[in-house]
Amino acid sequence: MKKTALISVYQKAGIVDFAKELIALGWDIIASGGTAKALAQADIPVRDVADLAGGGAILGHRVVTLSREIHAALLARNTEEDNKELEALGIPRIDLVCVDLYPLSAEIKKPDSTANSVIEMTDIGGPTMLRSAAKGRRIVICDPMDRGRAIAWLKAGEPDKEKFVDELAAKAEGAVAEYALISARYRSNGKIDGIIGHEIASCKYGENAWQAPAALYGFDSDDPLSLDKFKLVEGTEPSYNNYCDIDRLLQTMIHLAAAFELNRGSKPMIAIGAKHGNACGASFGFEKNEQVLRDMLDGDLDAIFGGLVMINFPIGEKEAEILMTYKMEGCQRRLLDGIIAPAVSEKAIEMLKRKNDKCRILTNPALGNVRMHSLDKTLRFRQVRGGFLRQPNYTYVIDLNDPELKKYGNASVIEEETLLLAWAVGCTSTSNTITIGIDQRLIANAVGQQSRVAACRLARMRAEAAGHDTKNAVAYSDSFFPFTDGPKALKEMGVRLIYASSGSIKDQEIIDFCQNNGITLYTIPDKKGRGFYGH
């Protein structure tokens, strides 16, 4: 029996070639008005779906495919009884559906969109056909990328049919679910929300070995820095924890690059090392990328062991040699869990390899051009028992010329640039955080403390344990100081410049203490510049 395909697409690109392939395979084609016209103009035999719909199109073509006949053709089971009924009704069985949906999300994002324009761009027939086709176990194509796959599969004799049909049906159901969610989110003004993604990569386990299975899911994002855009060029697949660290490293990297673009109009070379989601080494520079790497590693040579490194410049032999051997004793090599860069040379890959593929090397050319425009503005979700929390992403960028930024004392250019580094690290680390930097490099990142003074003391301990001289250092605090004990602890370690938010009833005491002790203090209102992250 000759098979029939129903084609109804909003975006017509490539649809003629797809239809020609079906015709060559001996299929009949039914299409909706606009699609039927495009196919007819290409001399492709096509029947308008309105001819099949009982009574034809109505309400100015607003209702066409929402008909008994169309959905009977999609939902009929392949049984003698159902086939006879279709034949008696003059309804051909539809075996394949190729449908894309009206661009609802794009309409919502338009500056001049209205409630009426959004309603008009809300597809009803398309999602209904996709769901009927999925339930009827038809070949259902909702993604243009699957058209070629479907043709190749048909030509190959439909191998593993059940698996292939199920895969496409699940994709269609997911597309409809996401489409409905977009509409619900818009019409409820955000009071209804959710997350829908598809598996990008499986992980051996989650945070711990007994938390399995685990996987990375994506949203089909066109963001060049979304995690699915990072290519694994060496090593075993990233773990759940690796993905968490890469996401946090991206936040730190982009915020530092954005701060330099905003405040200096420049793009430095940046290297960041992280362990357990928080930077333990970071540096920037404008001339020698080898020195940037050395300064990053010097941040905490113990902590970086087994950590991840993200860099915004290519890795060659010289850079690989520094990563592996800088300040290592004898012939020992530094063990890193992962290296992420815009590009890594073949020779460098060979040098960076670890036994059993334990060093993951990932590349993404977009890392070489991270700037203000790279800030992730998508909403952030966090699961809690019985539901989830939602908030805007962290997109604040320090502006040293902000009129709300109060400066009590003076700082040099190098101190301010080091401050940008300390801020970028601290505001993307687990709060409460005190971050210490000196001469363009991170020397201590004291994260996740329950009191601010404890974070100050921990920062000193970590800096000294790593062998750093803290005299004339720069300190960043991700919120205000409730008492003078924090600034006092920073003074004792020789800090020269402090950046913090204001909002404490003790603000004047903090200001007075710093001025009386030769410490320059920069403050921004807590409501504007507080840097809590990963709370």
Provide the CATH number for the domain around residue 345: 3.40.140.20
Return the structure tokens found at 438.
Answer: 């000196």
Q: What percent of the chain stands above pLDDT 90?
A: 84
For residue 161, what is the domain's CATH number? 3.40.50.1380
pLDDT tens-digit readout, 255-311: 999 999 999 999 999 999 999 999 999 999 998 899 999 999 999 999 999 999 999
Domain boundary among 143, 159, 187: 187
Residue 452 lies in a domain: yes
Does residue 133 carry a pLDDT above 90? yes
pLDDT tens-digit readout, 192-240: 999 999 999 999 999 999 999 999 999 888 899 999 999 999 999 999 9
Same domain, yes or no, for 261 and 310?
Answer: yes
Residue 195 lies in a domain: no
Residue 211 lies in a domain: no
For the entire predicted model, the pTM comes to 0.91
Same domain, yes or no, for 414 and 501?
Answer: yes
Same domain, yes or no, for 86 and 165?
Answer: yes
Same domain, yes or no, for 181 and 258?
Answer: no
Residue 173 lies in a domain: yes
Same domain, yes or no, for 327 and 429?
Answer: no
Q: How many domains does the chain have?
A: 3
Residue 340 lies in a domain: yes
Same domain, yes or no, for 431 and 506?
Answer: yes
- From CA 489, how far away is CA 474, in angstroms rounded? 13
Residue 323 lies in a domain: yes
Residue 280 lies in a domain: yes
pLDDT tens-digit readout, 11-56: 899 999 999 999 999 999 999 888 989 999 999 999 988 777 666 6
Residue 347 lies in a domain: yes
The phi and psi torsions of 236 (rounded to 5 degrees) equal -75, 165
The phi and psi torsions of 391 (rounded to 5 degrees) equal -155, 160
Does residue 57 carry a pLDDT above 90? no
Same domain, yes or no, for 30 and 170?
Answer: yes
- For residue 332, what are the domain limits? 243-369
Same domain, yes or no, for 343 and 403?
Answer: no
For residue 65, count other CB atoms closer than 10 A to its CB.
25
- From CA 221, how far away is CA 315, in angstroms rounded? 27
